[in-house]
């Protein structure tokens, strides 16, 4: 078996809020393989955001192990985590988070600033990624001159620019109307078909069902890990035996 | 992540808030401009004093007739001439550290040449005068001992007199009339410019001491040997203070003054007077420089303030940059570069303004302003340092942000 993109073991995160300890995540173990398309669901306070922060290397676990792309990153200092984020993870946010004064191309280039990539290659790389999301002819538009869907596509291009091992999308369609949302999901679908691993956080079941596998969180634990029943399953993302699966494949969340 | 990238980000950020950036820079602009002008004015004043000392002769002591005590009434300084040519000879011959002692008398006369006339100061002098005052001839011959001995009617003209009486001819050999006495022009003096007190030193004619006493002074003194003053040149490297002491002892001895009697002469050290002036102008410049540095300090605080605002405003941007891989030090350097750029830009504008202001003061107030490249560089560099110093805290605040928190901030 190839090295999994994400491997967590007994991941625990405890916050201290007003003198009280809050256990946001209480032992999550799972494996996400290369090329998987995973949706993370759960009500607010379920720990899914904490989980996303941890696997996005924005935060470090209180206890437990996290291997990203084969490397243990659970105890790395902040400086190294920044580099890991830069090289291995592409973030897509609900609010797009584009810098308003930079045009599409410059926004896409931004992660390259911190990657040590030769400056001569920046433009070419950014243009390639913009073309990949169908925005080649909009590269000199400012975010304010782009529609919401186009802005999110710029954000996706930015997430892709360093050819990361993993795309982390946090409610990527949350700020979009449903048609544009579908458009964005279409892009994720295509990227996944090209072999890119995607982890998507959402609270919409329709969106979650675009993925191959759904992880459900509640009260800081993974309560369900299921494969999505598809008419033409692509054979990706089988649940690893013995790891963190709280319920068998194919239950809950209704039939498609 | 390098300076170029950070510089580009900083320029973009500063251009977003042009007015705010300019206002923030104002303190630095004013501070740097003020420093440059003040240092320029101070250096100009100092250079002027130094030049005056050099033109005057750097190590001169002037002996003037002092007050005399006549039956208990002390007459004022110079009311009666109490020093003589013999005193001058004694000073020059008996004291080792003295190069030359030039006795002179002074008066005010009207000179006539053809249909032109000019009122000027006349100095009755001996050959030592030229040596003591370091005064070169522009043309003609030198004043000789024989001229004094034979009471020759010859005169040397200063530049101002020259231009007023002989606008376009060579005067040497021509005759002018002073107090109805014809004088032959024996030579002309090179220009010396203004003295420390703003007097035109070139508005002068020099005649032999004996001639001046006999023909030009309204009422010749009772004692034909007395003079108004003796200008003494001290050897280079010799102590002015001990030279002064020696002259005082010698003259008191020659004038047979008892220990209880006051000096009947006055000693003045010109270089000292000027150095006092120089010191006071330096104090003034220093004071103004202190004010200017307060302005720089306030400007620095302004930069710090606006950078803190900027960090708060751009929290999301910082969060995003961190999420996509900016390390703490990348964010730190980004904001530090922005602060330094702000202060250097202010410093640059301040330098230009300071140079313009110095030129303006030089032109309109007529002061000499001396701009030294080192002072420009120093104040510019200081502005940069202020940027680093006051930019560091906000930049560190930015770098210490938690990307998770920063991303969620609205």
- The answer to whether the Cβ–Cβ distance between B407 and A110 falls below 8 Å is no
Determine how many CB atoms are found less than 10 A away from the CB of residue B338: 29
The predicted structure's pLDDT at residue B71: 60
Which residues in A lie closer than 8 A to residue B325 (C-beta atoms)? Answer: 82-83, 85-87, 111, 114-115, 162
Per mean pLDDT, which range of A87-96, A229-238, B253-262 is the poorest?
Answer: A229-238
- The answer to whether the Cβ–Cβ distance between A79 and B404 falls below 8 Å is no
The predicted structure's pLDDT at residue A242: 39
% pLDDT > 70, chain A? 89
Q: Quick check: B187 and B268 in contact, CB under 8 A? A: no
| pLDDT mean across residues, chain A | 85
Q: In B167-261, which ranges are continuous DSSP H helix?
A: 209-211, 240-254
Distance of alpha carbon B276 from alpha carbon B273, whole angstroms: 5
CB contact burial A112-122 (16+ within 10 A = b; e otherwise): bbbbebeeeeb
The predicted structure's pLDDT at residue B73: 64
Which residues in A lie closer than 8 A to residue B410 (C-beta atoms)? Answer: none
Which residues in B lie closer than 8 A to residue A110 (C-beta atoms)? Answer: 320-321, 324
Distance of alpha carbon B357 from alpha carbon B324, whole angstroms: 48
The predicted structure's pLDDT at residue B54: 65
A253 pLDDT band, cuts 50/70/90, is very low
Q: Quick check: A2 and A33 in contact, CB under 8 A? A: yes
Mutation target among A44, A58, A109 for the B interface, most CBs of B within 10 A: A58
- The answer to whether the Cβ–Cβ distance between B325 and A85 falls below 8 Å is yes
Which residues in B lie closer than 8 A to residue A93 (C-beta atoms)? Answer: 407
The predicted structure's pLDDT at residue B266: 85
Q: Quick check: B123 and B206 in contact, CB under 8 A? A: yes
> Above 50 in pLDDT, residue A245?
no
Q: For residue B401, what is the nearest residue in chain A, using CA coordinates? A: A78
ipTM for this model: 0.85
> Above 50 in pLDDT, residue A237?
no
Judged on CB neighbours under 10 Å (0-12, 13-18, 19+), B61 is: buried
Distance of alpha carbon B202 from alpha carbon B195, whole angstroms: 10
Concatenate the DSSP letters of all residues of A87-106 into one string.
HHEEEE-TT----TTS-HHH
Q: Tokens 């010109």 label which residue?
A: B270
The predicted structure's pLDDT at residue A63: 92
* CATH 3.30.420.40 at A34-61+75-227, yes or no: no
Under an 8 Å CB criterion, which residues of B touch A? Answer: 1, 5, 12-13, 16, 316-317, 320-330, 403-404, 407
Q: Between A116 and B309, whose confidence is greater?
A: B309
Q: How far is B352 from chain A (nearest CA, A)?
A: 31
Closest-CA residue to A159 (of A124, A189, A196, A186): A196
- The answer to whether the Cβ–Cβ distance between B327 and A56 falls below 8 Å is no
The predicted structure's pLDDT at residue B197: 63
Q: Between A40 and A231, whose confidence is greater?
A: A40
> What does the DSSP 8-state code read for residue B46?
H
A117 pLDDT band, cuts 50/70/90, is confident
Q: Quick check: B53 and B251 in contact, CB under 8 A? A: no
- Which portions of chain B are predicted below pLDDT 50? none
Coil/strand/helix, residue B41: helix
| pLDDT mean across residues, chain B | 85
User: Which of A53, A101, A111 is the closest to B325 by Cβ?
Assistant: A111
Q: Tokens 């202010």 label which residue?
A: B346
The secondary structure element, H or E, covering residue B231 is strand B229-234
Which residues in B lie closer than 8 A to residue A83 (C-beta atoms)? Answer: 325, 327
**Interface contact A212, partner B, CB < 8 A:** no
Distance of alpha carbon A83 from alpha carbon A96, whole angstroms: 21
> Above 90 in pLDDT, residue A140?
yes
Q: For residue B403, what is the nearest residue in chain A, using CA coordinates? A: A58
Which residues in B lie closer than 8 A to residue A53 (C-beta atoms)? Answer: 404
**Interface contact A175, partner B, CB < 8 A:** no
The predicted structure's pLDDT at residue B369: 81
A1 pLDDT band, cuts 50/70/90, is low
Instruction: Give the domain ranges of chain A.
Output: 34-61+75-227
What contacts B294, CB < 8 A, 6 or more positions away?
B31
- The answer to whether the Cβ–Cβ distance between B317 and A99 falls below 8 Å is yes
Q: Mind listing the pLDDT tens digit for each residue in A147-184?
A: 999 999 999 999 999 999 899 999 898 888 989 999 99
> Above 80 in pLDDT, residue A84?
yes
Q: What is the pTM of this model?
A: 0.68
- The answer to whether the Cβ–Cβ distance between B325 and A99 falls below 8 Å is no
The predicted structure's pLDDT at residue A35: 92
The predicted structure's pLDDT at residue A254: 36
Q: How far is B290 from chain A (nearest CA, A)?
A: 41
Termini Cα distance of chain A: 30
A234 pLDDT band, cuts 50/70/90, is very low
User: Which of B317, B324, B403 is the closest to A86 by Cβ?
Assistant: B324
């Amino acid at each position: 078996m190839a090295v999994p993109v994400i491997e967590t073991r007994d991941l625990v995160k405890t916050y201290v809020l007003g003198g009280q300890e809050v256990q946001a995540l209480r032992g999550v173990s799972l494996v996400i393989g290369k090329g998987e398309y995973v949706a993370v669901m759960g009500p607010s306070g379920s720990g899914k955001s904490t989980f996303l922060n941890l696997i996005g290397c924005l935060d470090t676990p209180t206890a437990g192990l996290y291997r990203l792309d084969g490397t243990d990153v659970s105890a790395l200092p902040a400086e190294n985590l920044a580099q890991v984020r830069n090289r291995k993870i592409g973030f897509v946010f609900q609010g797009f988070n584009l810098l308003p004064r930079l045009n599409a191309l410059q926004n896409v280039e931004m992660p390259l600033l911190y990657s040590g990539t030769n400056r001569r290659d920046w433009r070419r790389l950014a243009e390639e990624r913009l073309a990949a999301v169908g925005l080649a002819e909009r590269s000199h538009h400012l975010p304010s001159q782009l529609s919401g869907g186009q802005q999110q596509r710029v954000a996706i291009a930015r997430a892709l620019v360093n050819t990361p091992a993993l795309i982390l999308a946090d409610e990527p369609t949350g700020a979009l109307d449903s048609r544009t949302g579908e458009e964005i999901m279409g892009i994720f679908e295509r990227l996944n078909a090209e072999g890119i691993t995607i982890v998507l956080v959402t609270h919409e079941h329709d969106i979650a069902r675009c993925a191959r596998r759904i992880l459900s969180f509640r009260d800081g634990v993974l309560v369900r890990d299921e494969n999505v029943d598809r008419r033409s399953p692509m054979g990706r993302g089988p649940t690893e035996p013995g790891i963190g699966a709280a319920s068998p494949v194919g239950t809950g969340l209704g039939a498609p | 992540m390098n300076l170029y990238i950070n510089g580009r980000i900083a320029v973009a950020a500063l251009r977003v808030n042009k007015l705010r950036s300019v206002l923030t820079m104002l303190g630095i602009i004013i501070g740097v401009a003020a420093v440059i002008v003040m240092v320029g004015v101070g250096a100009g004043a100092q250079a002027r004093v130094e030049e005056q000392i050099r033109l005057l002769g750097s190590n001169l002591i002037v002996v003037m007739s002092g007050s005399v005590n006549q039956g208990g009434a002390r007459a004022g300084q110079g009311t009666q001439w109490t020093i003589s040519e013999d005193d001058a000879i004694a000073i020059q011959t008996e004291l080792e550290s003295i190069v030359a002692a030039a006795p002179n008398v002074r008066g005010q006369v009207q000179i006539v040449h053809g249909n032109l006339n000019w009122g000027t100061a006349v100095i009755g002098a001996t050959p030592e005068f030229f040596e003591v005052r370091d005064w070169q001839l522009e043309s003609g011959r030198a004043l000789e001992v024989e001229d004094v001995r034979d009471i020759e009617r010859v005169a040397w003209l200063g530049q101002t007199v020259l231009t007023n009486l002989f606008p376009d001819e060579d005067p040497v050999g021509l005759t002018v009339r002073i107090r109805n006495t014809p004088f032959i022009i024996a030579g002309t003096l090179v220009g010396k410019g203004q003295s420390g007190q703003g007097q035109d030193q070139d508005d002068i004619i020099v005649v032999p001491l004996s001639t001046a006493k006999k023909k030009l002074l309204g009422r010749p003194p009772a004692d034909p040997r007395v003079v108004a003053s003796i200008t003494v040149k001290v050897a280079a490297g010799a102590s002015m203070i001990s030279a002064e002491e020696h002259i005082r002892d010698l003259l008191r001895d020659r004038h047979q003054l008892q220990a209880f009697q006051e000096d009947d002469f006055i000693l003045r050290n010109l270089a000292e007077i000027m150095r006092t002036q120089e010191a006071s102008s330096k104090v003034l410049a220093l004071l103004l420089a202190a004010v200017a540095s307060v302005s720089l300090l306030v400007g620095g605080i302004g930069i710090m303030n606006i950078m803190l605002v900027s960090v708060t405003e751009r929290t999301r941007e910082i969060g995003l940059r961190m999420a996509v891989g900016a390390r703490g030090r990348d964010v730190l350097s980004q904001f530090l570069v922005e602060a330094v750029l702000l202060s250097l830009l202010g410093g640059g504008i301040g330098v230009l303004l300071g140079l313009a202001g110095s030129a303006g003061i030089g032109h309109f107030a007529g002061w000499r302003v001396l701009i030294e490249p080192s002072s420009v560089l120093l104040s510019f560099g200081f502005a940069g340092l202020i940027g680093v110093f006051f930019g560091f805290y906000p930049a560190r605040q930015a770098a210490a942000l938690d990307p998770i928190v920063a991303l969620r901030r609205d």
